[in-house]
A = this chain, B = another copy of it.
Amino acid sequence: MAIRYPNGKKYVPAASAAAIKRPAIQDSYSNRGMTLEEDLNETNAYYLERGLAVIHKKPTPVQIVQVDYPKRSAAVIKEAYFKQASTTDYNGVYRGKYVDFEAKETRSTTAFPLKNFHEHQVVHMRKVEQQGGISFVIIRFALTEEVFYLPAIRLLDYWARMEDGGRKSIAKAEIETSAYLIPMSLHPRIPYLSVIDQLHF
């Protein structure tokens, strides 16, 4: 039986955890099992520290039902539920412009399934586009560790195609032509501002 540590998690040696989570396809890539969210948090922290952009992940929306106020200690939320997000997860400012994006990962190697987005997120992206904001999606193909910047206007086209009865995903080949590959680096891990520079400035 595996040892359980006080944090309640099984002890898994680091090397094997990485092997389970992400096969070592690219030896040169030194990410070592970070999630897409962790990579983006690191990237946003890097941009923030250097005064390059102010971009944050929004808190997870929660519907709070019951809160206890024990004496002499912090309020405890005793009952709450996850709510569906009505916007995207990340937003902020870069060179005065509004930047807004969602980040999604797939283990498929051939296509990106559109069910990764909710209807209201797509509606939100359309509204941001109409208001002149910079709206996009960061898509990671987990098994090949490729990260793409897909402009929201392209996503909206694929979404419309699905609504018209077409395919429910974006083919990998389509992503390769309509999105921009973000070359991963050590620091920041996902340098997406370089794509914004190329497209908007």
Residues on A facing B (Cβ under 8 Å) = 48, 51, 53-54, 56, 58-62, 64, 74-83, 86-87, 91-100, 124, 127-128, 130-133
Contact = CB atoms under 8 A, between A and B. Distances in A.
B61 A96 contact: no
Given A77-B77, A81-B75, A59 B61 contact: yes
B94 A97 contact: no
A68 to B, nearest CB: 10
Contacts of A98: 92-93, 96-99
Q: Count the copies.
A: 2
A82 B74 contact: yes
Contacts of A59: 58-62, 83
A124 B62 contact: no
Contacts of A95: 131-132
Given A75-B81, A97-B98, 15 more contacts: A48-B127, A51-B130, A54-B124, A54-B128, A58-B58, A58-B59, A59-B59, A59-B83, A60-B62, A77-B77, A78-B78, A78-B79, A91-B92, A93-B132, A98-B99
A198 to B, nearest CB: 18
A124 B54 CA distance: 8
Contacts of A93: 98, 100, 128, 131-133
A79 B54 CA distance: 31
